[in-house]
Amino acid sequence: MRKIVLSAILALSVALFAVPALAEAPVKTLPSDITLAQARVILDAALKKAVEIKVPMNIAIVDAGGNLKAFYRQEDAFLGSIDISIKKAVTARYFNMSTRTLGAASVPGQPLYGIEVSNNGLVLFAGGVLLVDKNNVIVGAIGVSGGSVDEDESVAKAGAAALLK
């Protein structure tokens, strides 16, 4: 009987003190993650550049973990470029460098040759750019596809620059 009473008191103590403490713990987001508001600013700047150069684009933004945060497909942008834009953003974030830079290190004879087959497929040509905030912290990446690699990269850079304004 004594064991039952002690067990009941212990269980009640846990229920009264430990569980509420856990339930009231504040939920925190990563301070180094991109917000939806920031993603919208970046999308708007990238879209403005795409309209300016008259090339329909697919624009993808991923968060600090490489997860899709925002996406925009302009009218008449290539359907095949949807996946490419997302993979450009993910590739840039996974390796913390632009896809142009990573691509240069992955050609035959270079140390990262063959890396594109890792991580369920990477995209190693220009158009994936890191998103760095005003504190010089990587908060995500942008990937753009639909034009030439130089056009894609110019749109991505326009989006990334908006984060610093």
CATH value at residue 140: 3.30.450.150
The reply to whether 155 falls in a domain is yes
The reply to whether 63 falls in a domain is yes
Lowest mean pLDDT among 61-70, 93-102, 115-124: 115-124
Percent with pLDDT over 70 in the chain: 81
pLDDT at 1: 52
Percent with pLDDT over 90 in the chain: 78
Tokens of 67: 């997860």
The reply to whether 51 falls in a domain is yes
Residues near 88 by Cβ (< 8 Å), separated by ≥ 6?
Answer: 60, 99, 123, 127, 128, 143, 144, 145, 152, 156
Overall number of domains in the chain: 1
pLDDT tops 60 at residue 124: yes
- Per-residue pLDDT band at 32 (split at 50, 70, 90): confident
pLDDT tops 70 at residue 25: no
Q: Which residue has the higher pLDDT, 4 or 144?
A: 144
Q: Which residue has the higher pLDDT, 158 or 13?
A: 158
- The whole domain housing 49 covers 36-162
Closest by Cα among 99, 133, 128 to 30 = 133
